[in-house]
Amino acid sequence: MGTIQALRGTRDILPSEVGYWQRVESVAREILGKAAYQEIRTPIFEQTDLYERGIGEATDVVGKEMYTFKDRGDRSITLRPEGTAGVARSVIEQNLIAAGGVQRLWYTGPMFRYERPGAGRQRQFHQLGVEVIGSGAARADAEVIAIATDILQTLGLRNLQLNINSLGKQQDRQLYRQALVDYLTPYKDELDKDSQDRLTRNPMRILDSKDKRTQEIAGDAPSILDYLGDDSKRHFEQVKQLLSDLGIGYKINPRLVRGLDYYTHTAFEIISDADNLGSQGTVCGGGRYDGLVAELGGSDTPAVGWAIGLERLIILLQQTANAPTSELDFYLVSRGDRAESLALVLAQKLRGAGFSVELDLSGSAFKKQFSRADKSGAIACLILGDEEAASQTVKLKWMATKEQEALAIADLLDKTVEMRQQIDSRR
């Protein structure tokens, strides 16, 4: 019988990688907490209608990429392909706006799309996202962009490009949509197959095509910025000015349309120039979606947000940042029945005193245990043999200097403050 392997488009996040993920989550949690964003956790699956109404049936996500199935109650269920629609549904269902005014929310977790796997792109992937629901101010747009920039820069990323555009109000988009169809129709036979299909369903997505000939044709297409009404122009100018006030550089990209129907006004992406991400170099993307809450049955409520693709971000961190360092205080080796029993008790007492301790459970020779201690990243090694167990002592070896001393176990446990100071000074 053959071994069972992970499904295509899914992957295990191994212990050697988890440190990067924890670093991202820790930085994001701290920065978002300081900005008064609160975490929200929504279900991994929802009614399919939520995404058909919220994202748009004409989008590739709904039309081609969703994991949709019937449950035992014959209800159509979909694994979430993105986080915003579920958050908006929760805000409506739980009446959060009435209860607390503007909602600053953030989330993280797995999403699911049936697409071709590639570098930083999986069928089960992970996002970190923020949503500001209940504010139509340009300051909200600038704030979420600033927070995304803070997170990425704090993680050590540099040379990132912020691209911004305005998609205007719905009426602006309708005017532009018709102008775009009028321009593209004579080129229909030269467009790639997907773009030919989008010409009638979702023509703005043609601007995002990766096909070379389609890109050449789209290069001379009308710009949506020429079809913005006065309110849309005013909002976009305010966003640009606020970004300048914050010292955040940007590039206006009139071809930036994003992939979901709910976007209005500001759309933006933060792009990495990493070669191995290829066309998938977008690390963070988002924008304003003033019509989504109303589309899902709520009141007319403005909103803006973004999502960071964590797989892509982790690839960048692995290229540009050092691996997260171990925070292990002690590696505890032992040999012999009495020593091994005492080592377990000692490890638990040290953990209870606030130390991180890895207990070697192998029972192998001291030489092999010492070898694992060298690789563990621990600041110190604690050594227990039956001789030490009989005398209620332990040998402490500082890993960096190889200094070694014998301590009474009672003294070690009584002098935890002094021991913490020593460990921190050697870290």
* Average pLDDT estimate for 168-173: 89
CA atoms of 269 and 218, how far apart (whole Å)? 19
The fourth-level CATH superfamily of domain 15-169+229-320 is: Bira Bifunctional Protein; Domain 2 (3.30.930.10)
Q: Residue 135's closest CA among 350, 332, 293? A: 293
Model confidence pLDDT, tens digit, residues 7-66:
999 999 998 899 999 999 999 999 999 999 999 999 999 999 999 998 877 677 887 899
- Which pLDDT score, from 0 to 100, does residue 198 have? 84
Model confidence pLDDT, tens digit, residues 339-396:
999 999 999 999 999 999 999 999 999 999 999 999 999 999 999 999 999 999 999 9
CA atoms of 32 and 243, how far apart (whole Å)? 19
Whether the predicted pLDDT of 279 surpasses 50? no
- Which pLDDT score, from 0 to 100, does residue 274 have? 58
CATH of domain 330-426: 3.40.50.800
> Strands, E, within 151-245: which ranges?
161-166
* Average pLDDT estimate for 258-282: 74
- Which pLDDT score, from 0 to 100, does residue 193 have? 87
Model confidence pLDDT, tens digit, residues 298-320:
999 999 999 999 999 999 898 87
Percent of the chain with pLDDT over 70: 96
- How, if at all, do strands 380-385 and 330-335 pair? parallel
- Grade residue 211 by pLDDT with cuts at 50, 70 and 90: confident
Domain spans of the chain? Answer: 15-169+229-320, 330-426
CA atoms of 63 and 294, how far apart (whole Å)? 22
Q: Residue 50's closest CA among 95, 8, 14, 87? A: 87
Q: Do domains 15-169+229-320 and 330-426 have the same CATH topology?
A: no
Model confidence pLDDT, tens digit, residues 129-151:
999 999 999 999 999 999 999 99
Model confidence pLDDT, tens digit, residues 54-87:
887 767 788 789 999 999 999 999 999 999 999 9
**Distance, first Cα to last Cα, the chain:** 48
